[in-house]
Chains A and B, each alone.
Chain A
Amino acid sequence: MNDQLTDPGSPTDEDPVLDQLLASLEHFAPAPGFEDRIMRNVVTPAPRWLQRVRDRGRSLVQHGRGWWFLGGLTGASAISASAIAALLVLNAAAVGETLDGILNSVGLPLWRGVLGLAAGTAREVTSVINSVSVSASVILAAGASVAFVLVFNTWAIYRLMQPVQAKRVEFNASR
C-alpha cells in the first residue's frame, strides 16, 4: 500500500479547513449525577491489608495448617486456664486475703467516688431544671427530638451494617 496515500500527515491529506473544524469538536458532558449512578453499581474492594489477612486465613484453612493453628490456640488457652484455676485452688486463703485488700484499698473508695459523682451530677441537673422556666410543650418537644435522634441513629447503624447490595458486572472485554 502506498504510504504517502495512507499517511494522514502527507501533503495529499492536508486540509486546514477540515483540521479547524475537527479541532472545534468539543467534549460533551453526561447528565448531572452520572458519577453517583455509576458508583451505585460498583463494588469497591476491601483495603489490601484486610484482603491479605483474609487470603492468609483462607490459605491456612485450605492447606490444613489452620487446624493446627486453632488446635494450638485452644490448647494454650486450656493450659493457661487450668494453670490459673489450679493456682487459685491451691492458694485459696492467700488469694482471698489479697482480694480483700484490693477491695478495701481501691475498690470501695472508687465505688464511693462514683456514687458521689452520680449524686452530685443529679443534684446539679435538678437545680438547672428548676432554675429554667420552660413550658411543658418545649420539654415535650425536646424529649421527642432526643427520642427521634436515638431511633434514627439505631436505624442508620442497622443500615450501615447491611452487606453491600451492588450488582457485580462480569468483565468480558478481551485484550
Chain B
Amino acid sequence: MTYPADLSTATDQEVVEHARDGRESAYRELVRRYQRPVFSLIYRMVRDRELAEDLSQETFVKVLNAIDRYRPEFKFSSWVFKIANNAAIDHLRRKELDTLSLDGGPDATTAERVEATALQIGDTTESPLDELEARELGSAIERAIGKLRPEYQTCIILRHVEGRPYDEIADILGLPLGTVKTYIHRARAELRELLDPLREML
C-alpha cells in the first residue's frame, strides 16, 4: 500500500485503512477530524469542560483501540458519535443515581440529621474554568439546549450543529427514523417555548 504524506484529503475509510496498517499519523488524523464535533456534543450534554474532555478521551481511546473491528460498510462518523453519545448518556445516568439531596438524606427527620446528611457546598467563587464554561454555554440558545432531555439534545446537536441526515442520526442513536423526527420536532418546540420571552432581543 502506498502511503500519502498528507492524509487530510483522504476519506475516513482510507484513513482507517492506514490506521489498521499501524500508521500513527492516521490515528492522529482521525482524532483531529473528530475531536471538536465529539467534544462539542459531549460538552453540551454534560455541561462540564473537564468531564467532557475525559469522556471524549475515553471515546477516542475506545474507537482507536478497536479500529481493527470497525466495519467499513458503516460510516465511521456514525460509529464515533454513537460511542460518544453512549459515554455521555452513561455518565448522566450514573450522575442521576449518585445525586444527593442538597437538603439532606431521604431518611433525615430531625434538624441534626438533616445537617449531617446535607451536601456541603464548597467554595462558591468561580474558577477560570467556570468562567470559560459560563462564556461558552451562557448564551440563550445554549442554556435552552441544556434544559432539553438528553435524547433531544443529541438529536438537535447532530442535526443542526453536525448537519447529519435523519437516517444517520437514527443509526447513531439506534432509533427508528420516525422517532428521530419526532424528537427533533419536540425539541424545536421546547426551544421555541424557552426562547419565546427573549424573542424581541434576538
Q: Do A1 and B21 touch (CB < 8 A)? A: no
A1-29 residues with Cβ-Cβ distance < 8 A to B are 1, 5-8, 13, 15, 17-19, 21-29
**Tally of chain A residues near chain B (CB < 8 A):** 41
Task: Give the distance in Å from the alpha carbon of A164 to the alpha carbon of B142 in the complex.
Answer: 42
Is A158 an interface position by the 8 A CB rule? no
Which chain A positions have C-beta within 8 A of B156? Answer: 22
Task: Give the distance in Å from the alpha carbon of A22 to the alpha carbon of B28 in the complex.
Answer: 30
Which chain B positions have C-beta within 8 A of A30? Answer: 35-36, 39, 52-53, 56
Contact of B20 among A21, A31, A45, A175 (CB under 8 A): A45
Is B152 an interface position by the 8 A CB rule? no
Task: Give the distance in Å from the alpha carbon of A26 to the alpha carbon of B192 in the complex.
Answer: 19
Which chain B positions have C-beta within 8 A of A39? Answer: 24, 27-28, 31
Known contacts A28-B36, A30-B39, A35-B28; decide if A41 and B192 are in contact (CB<8 Å). no
A61-108 residues with Cβ-Cβ distance < 8 A to B are none
Which chain A positions have C-beta within 8 A of B1? Answer: 48
Contact of A21 among B69, B74, B195 (CB under 8 A): B195
Which chain B positions have C-beta within 8 A of A45? Answer: 20-22, 68
Q: Do B192 and A27 touch (CB < 8 A)? A: no
B68, B69, B185: most-surrounded residue (chain A CB, <10 A): B185
Contact of A8 among B66, B68, B184, B202 (CB under 8 A): B184
Which B residues lie at the A interface, using CB under 8 A? Answer: 1, 19-24, 27-28, 31-32, 35-37, 39-40, 43, 49, 52-53, 56-58, 60-66, 68-69, 71, 74, 82-83, 86, 136, 140-142, 145, 156-157, 159-161, 178, 181-182, 184-185, 188, 191-192, 195, 199, 202
| Additional 20 contacts, C-beta under 8 A, given A42-B60, A172-B62 | A6-B181, A6-B182, A7-B185, A8-B188, A21-B140, A22-B191, A25-B145, A27-B36, A28-B43, A30-B35, A35-B28, A35-B31, A41-B57, A42-B61, A44-B22, A44-B24, A45-B21, A48-B21, A168-B65, A173-B82
